[in-house]
Amino acid sequence: MRIKGKNFDGEGGEEEEQKLVVGYALTLKKKKSFLQPEFERLACKKGILFVAIDVNLPLSGQGPFDIILHKLLGKEWSDIVEDYRQTHPEVTVIDPPYAIQQLHNRQSMLQDVVDLNLSDFHGRVGVPKQMVIMKDPLSIPDEVAKAGLKLPLVAKPLVVDGSAKSHELFLACDWSSLSELEPPLVLQEFVNHDGILFKIYIVGDAIKVVRRFSLANVNKCRRAKVPGIFPFPRVSSAAASADDADLDPRIAELPPKPLLERLSKELRHRLARPSIVQYRYDPRAWDKRHLLCD
Ligand SMILES: Nc1ncnc2c1ncn2[C@@H]1O[C@H](COP(=O)(O)OP(=O)(O)OP(=O)(O)O)[C@@H](O)[C@H]1O
Ligand SMILES: O=P(O)(O)O[C@H]1[C@H](O)[C@@H](O)[C@H](OP(=O)(O)O)[C@@H](OP(=O)(O)O)[C@H]1O
């Protein structure tokens, strides 16, 4: 399923050029950030051609594709991709819907990290103490007190779907303001991290770590003084790169390689599990009871 064209070798002869065809279905935002002209040109030089999928036409009638790359919202699109995947086993679908379902919910996405048990392996990997609030904002202060979570809290929408809304994060600093939050959400204890965090990108065996500026530490004194709910949109986005910043080496030191390798291996292994047991997923809540085997 490759497009064949003519290419000229150094000695004036013709050789057959094969292109790997990637059909893509992306939001305009994602197309703008990811499919930049320079990237497309580089891909083309390497024999990779990106072709836009027309979401208003049947997917099966388009192509042929070698690879499908997609990130669109909604169940309707997921169903289309899943059907296509099953009827076109020869096409590689990146991020098949069943495999990324777990990542569409901020509680379920961390479950495998909780289970990792990397609390003492060349460093520590853990999940902040957290709870889920499904509805009734008025009950939040009581629920938080019952769960024993300490202020300040980071409030994150439960559902993660790439929409602007799902990226909205808030810092909640006092008990009474907690009722202003909008469920469904995850409330996490704020973890001081010296204003720097590491983002880890993993593709196959390749691991890339970048350093980003983040929220400053919250000390006891500031906790007491600032009541309210504070939005902090995209605080550690690519624009907040700290890779070239002159930082205290104790803060800037990258996570140790053995830890990253183990983390990458474990997560790949665990996140690949749904391909064996496909499940229907209830986005309103997540725990083992909500894995309903088809
Ligand atoms: N528990 C926490 N304690 C302190 N800071 C936090 C906490 N959770 C998140 N943050 C801050 O909020 C930022 C975004 O958090 P998170 O990664 O959970 O959201 P996201 O929408 O998935 O982010 P991204 O868009 O970068 O993928 C982090 O980069 C960090 O600066
Ligand atoms: O640039 P980095 O630091 O890698 O952060 C990414 C986020 O982690 C992704 O979640 C964003 O994609 P979505 O907005 O589709 O979730 C993604 O959005 P983008 O592809 O539109 O830039 C980025 O914000």
Q: Classify residue 230 as exposed, middle or buried by CB count within 10 Å of its CB (0-12, 13-18, 19+).
A: middle
The two three-digit tokens of residue 161, written as one number: 């779907």
Question: Quick check: CB of 71 below 6 Å from ligand 2?
Answer: yes
In this predicted model, what pLDDT tens digit does every residue of 48-73 receive, in sequence order? 999 999 999 999 999 899 999 999 98
- Sequence-distant (6+) residues with CB within 8 A of 11 are none
Share above pLDDT 70 across residues of the chain, in percent, rounded to a whole number: 85
Model pTM score = 0.84
Residues 115 and 228 in one domain: yes
The Cα–Cα gap between 36 and 276 comes to: 36
pLDDT reported for residue 18: 80
Domain boundary pick from 54, 72, 94: 94
Q: How much distance in Å is there from the Cα of 237 to the middle of ligand 1?
A: 10
Asked, for residue 155, whether it belongs to a domain, the answer is yes
What are the distances in angstroms from CA 151 to CA 118, 168, 220, 238, 266? 26, 19, 10, 28, 32
**Which value does ipTM take for this structure?**
0.94
Cα 99–Cα 100–Cα 102 angle in degrees, nearest 5: 100
Domain coverage including residue 123: 107-293
- Provide the CATH number for the domain around residue 150: 3.30.470.20
225 assigned binding-site residue? no
Q: Classify residue 93 as exposed, middle or buried by CB count within 10 Å of its CB (0-12, 13-18, 19+).
A: buried
- Provide the CATH number for the domain around residue 85: 3.40.50.11370
253 assigned binding-site residue? no
In this predicted model, what pLDDT tens digit does every residue of 112-136 receive, in sequence order? 888 888 878 888 888 999 999 999 9
Per DSSP, the residues of 70-111 read EE--SHHHHHHHHHHHHH-TTSEESS-HHHHGGGGBTTHHHH
Taking all residues of the chain, what is their mean pLDDT, rounded to a whole number?
86
Question: Quick check: CB of 199 below 6 Å from ligand 2?
Answer: yes
Residues 56 and 85 in one domain: yes
- Asked if residue 281 has pLDDT above 60, the reply is no
Asked, for residue 152, whether it belongs to a domain, the answer is yes
